[in-house]
Copies of this chain bind each other. A is one copy, B any other.
């Protein structure tokens, strides 16, 4: 008897033009388009194995080895149902195709980064889920079509169906059929864009993005202006910047949009704060780092962006990462040695860090060890990958493999 199983991995993406607000909470249709950079799966990824088997009694899913409830009408159930529907279309056209759409599925998913890092794992997770089922079901679907389904799991997941530079076009149809991800440019177009993720410690439990964004939709007087008048222009401008590999424009738009996203959070009643004093100080460092470069006749050298939490993501051309890491380490001493995947620092490591000449060191204070818990250096990456059977996360018995 055949085993019907497939394994795929999918990347994390970090938005430059932020998604904040739904016009339809069930279908997850956004109030504005957004744009992100897909990060390298070599560093951060979700991996998912799906198996269809008529002997299974029901659809089941394990996340990092722990079984999760698949609630009727919930987002997981919606994604699985939609994928089975696409499979049924295949079966209807090819009468000899096995009736996988009628089999229950077992799904095992793992993230290679700790949940405690505060990185949104729902985007990579739902993208990997959809990609593994699409592979299992041998769907002819284009990534944009799959993005329609991943979107219904977690809005920003739709953008993780592509590598490189990805737009989520908000669409206008009530059924959401035109609210999907499209590739603005592949990773290969501008491969030298790197990212440094600063994992920031926080005392305070933040507002979840799901409830936060609807509070903003309901109460912010500024959000509507952002949606109607600011984002459409910025989407066009940043696409142009990406196509021209114009980091200066990319950086300015990215920072402005991060600021404006947090501004509309603050304009919410009651106000929502995601950034803390550490986040603010990282902003001050990047602003000063860019100021020095501009004062010396250069352009912007780095761009910060913050999602619904205190973590900073700093985008920069590859050649600036050594300076940026030194800068961050100087103000935010690290408990552990910096993991240096691109071997920028050689055997002696980063050391105590330092600043570029002309940098005004007084723009921030030095924080206690642990204020930035860890640094992850990565770069723009490719889209979902289909993995080999050996990399599967389900054992012979159809249950998650126990990791060594």
Contact = CB atoms under 8 A, between A and B. Distances in A.
Contacts of A204: 280-281, 284, 364-365
A299 to B, nearest CB: 15
B260 A221 contact: yes
Given A222-B222, A271-B283, A266 B259 contact: yes
A269 interface: yes
Contacts of A225: 221-222, 225, 229
A287 B259 contact: no
A169 interface: no
A260 B255 CA distance: 19
- Looking at chain A's contact residues, the main secondary structure is helix
* Copies of this chain assembled into the complex: 2
Nearest to A272: B259
A67 interface: no
Interface string A257-284: 0011011101111110100110011011
B255 A259 contact: no
Contact of A365 (B203, B269, B364): B203
Given A221-B229, A225-B222, A225-B225, A269 B280 contact: no
A280 B270 contact: no
Interface string A205-236: 10000000000000001100110011000000
A208 to B, nearest CB: 15
Contacts of A270: 255, 283, 287
Contacts of A259: 266-269, 271
Nearest to A262: B266
Contacts of A221: 225-226, 229-230, 256, 260
A347 to B, nearest CB: 36
A58 interface: no
A282 to B, nearest CB: 12
Given A260-B221, A277-B276, A255 B269 contact: yes
A189 interface: no
A71 to B, nearest CB: 27
A256 B269 contact: yes
A252 B266 CA distance: 14
A281 B205 CA distance: 12
Contacts of A284: 204
A363 B199 CA distance: 22
A343 B289 CA distance: 51
A95 B249 CA distance: 67
Contacts of A276: 277, 280
A266 B263 contact: yes
Contact of A263 (B203, B222, B252, B281): B222
Contacts of A203: 365
A333 B205 CA distance: 22
Contacts of A268: 259
A269 B294 CA distance: 14
Closest 5 CB pairs of A and B: A225-B225, A263-B263, A263-B267, A263-B266, A270-B287
Given A204-B364, A222-B264, A276-B280, 12 more contacts: A203-B365, A221-B230, A221-B256, A221-B260, A222-B225, A222-B226, A222-B263, A225-B229, A260-B266, A263-B263, A263-B267, A270-B287
21 contacts: A204-B280, A204-B281, A204-B284, A204-B365, A221-B225, A221-B229, A221-B230, A221-B256, A222-B226, A222-B230, A222-B264, A256-B267, A259-B267, A259-B269, A260-B267, A263-B263, A263-B267, A266-B266, A270-B283, A270-B287, A271-B283
